Amino acid sequence: MRASRSLALAVAVSALVAGAAGCGGGGESGKGGRTPSSAGSGTPGSPGGRTTAPDAWIPGRVAKMSVAEKVGQLFVPRFSSRADGLAKIKKYHVGGLIYFPGNFSTPAKTAAQSNALQKAADIPLLLGVDEEQGIVSRTPFITAFPGNMALGATRDPADARAAAQVTGAELRAVGLNLDYAPDADVNVNPANPVIGLRSFGSDPALASTMVKGAVGGYQAAGVAATAKHFPGHGDTATDSHTGLPVIKHSPQKWAKLDAPPFEAAIAAGVDIVMTAHIVVPELDRSGDPSTLSKTVLTGLLRGKLGYQGVISTDSLEMAGVREKYGDAAAPVRAVGAGADQLLMPPDLPRAYRAVLAAVRSGKITEKRLDESVTRILKLKQRRGLFQDASADPAKAKAAIGTAAHKAVARRVAEHAVTLVRNKDGLLPLKGKKVAVSGPDSGRLQAALRRQGVATASPGSADVTVLTTDNAGQATASRIRALGGKPVVVAALGRPYDLDAADGAAAALAAYSSSGVSVDALAKVLSGAAKPVGKLPVPAGGKPVGYGMTYR
């Protein structure tokens, strides 16, 4: 983002906060928005030729729905079993369901379950999952990729797009059509307990480029993408699952640091933006979490950034949104703030009744409700769900973990490995006897042997590779405990471990302990592949963008 653009946005935000009490409602009339013609009031494929856009029929469909059906479209709850999911569809008319590991079986059985759920719904369901890859992965059988920070280290949006497109294609093969990814937070706080490796990095320009690539990849696969967590969760030391973080960014800092990836996602046509359960006092002085802030959602996201798609809350089970208002009031306030989709209410019956009562009492107007339902149905139309939301159970297994998909994962993992120190040309290791210590040492040792590296006991080795996985300052003491032989530190988690690796002769970051990343690290350590990654965050005393390679 150019400095002048950041300044203009910051000025607008400052004005918004100053006049927060006057925020208007969030209709379809912002940048890029268009109110559908009511003439197209039929269903897809209606005769007459009067519709001017594929979704022009949607307002007519919304007008025919009952208030109870409309309220149901806002909710995306958990479900414990197929029977539980079917019950929620029948009783509460839910707009979608979110899958967790317990909802998956084999690919074929998962696809059949998704089909059964869709068949029970009058309006196609958004069947979603929180599948970011890396450390946030809910789908047990898909091709495994390293997470966003590893992708940030590749600095190649084509890698982000390819990883997202493979993930999206495999999700769609089992009937899932919504992924709550990618993470658009700019992680500038090394102590951040909830984002970290989920972020593409600490550089807003890099994060913007990679977010745009990922959004394009998911949506090219027919899966709705979600940019999260607005207005930006990257500078906190509090986990919003267990508390309410406060981020003290000024409007100017927010516009320069946090906003660009969301602007990039919006420009890329992202289907959903997810809210953050955080307080940003300089953006909204009420003290409410952003999920419940009309100033942030309607005024800032819709009004200033011009976003006209679906706004989803983060999970309503999290402490950051529950502790101030409770489980009945929070969803009502979220809708009032501008949210369209209410994710994972801890008590669906209570939340549903509360929103329904708010509409019937006029606290939430039916016009406001119709805006959300219209956006949700437009999203379902855009992803082709009204045409065909089904999966083919007979083909599901063959579509997952293909040789081509695994090749993409290997390529991404190899592109990510970042070398930040190589004293006296210690690396590559081929020709040396190597001991391996630390987390996943057995897997790395086996991977090194496959690359022709001789492994040995610590006493007889020439060099020791010490793996770390979010060890922090303990890294330094672990290096000292290995004695006087040269040590190579390889960070399999957050690269910030390298900040405590001054005593190591060589230092690398793989950003992931997944099998594909361990194999990629072994290839770089052995010299079978050259390190080409660049730091997406400052680490090991080196700035963003730093990375060494072999001659």
Quick one: tokens of 359? 């509409």
Question: How far is C-alpha 371 from the geometric centre of its chain's CA atoms?
Answer: 25
Q: Which of 379, 392, 352, 373 is nearest to 89 (CA)?
A: 352
The Cα 457–Cα 504 span in angstroms is 19
Question: Look-up: residue for tokens 């083919």?
Answer: 392
In sequence order, what DSSP letters do the residues of 113-148 get, joined into one string? HHHHHHHH-SS--EEEE---BTTB---TTSPP---H
Quick one: tokens of 103? 């909802």
239: annotated active-site residue: no
* Contact between 391 and 173 (Cβ < 8 Å): yes
DSSP state, residue 341: B
Q: Which of 282, 279, 307, 300 is nearest to 291 (CA)?
A: 279
The Cα 375–Cα 381 span in angstroms is 10
The Cα 58–Cα 343 span in angstroms is 23
* Contact between 309 and 273 (Cβ < 8 Å): yes
Quick one: tokens of 72? 């149901």
DSSP state, residue 495: G
Give SS3 for 156. coil
The Cα 453–Cα 434 span in angstroms is 7
* Pairing between β-strand 310-312 and β-strand 96-99 as defined by DSSP bridges: unpaired
CB 460: neighbour CB atoms within 10 A? 8
**At 148, phi and psi to the nearest 5?**
-65, -40
Beta bridge partners of 127: 97
Question: Look-up: residue for tokens 């949104």?
Answer: 321
Which residue among 314, 497, 499, 519 is the active-site one? 314
Give SS3 for 207. helix
Give SS3 for 115. helix
Question: How far is C-alpha 374 from the geometric centre of its chain's CA atoms?
Answer: 24
Q: Output Rg (C-alpha) for the chain, integer angstroms.
A: 24
Spell out a b/e string for 98-116, using b for 16 or more CB atoms within 10 Å of the CB, else e: bbeeebbeebbebbbbbbe
Three-class DSSP labels, 407-419 = HHHHHHHHHHCEE
Active-site positions? 314
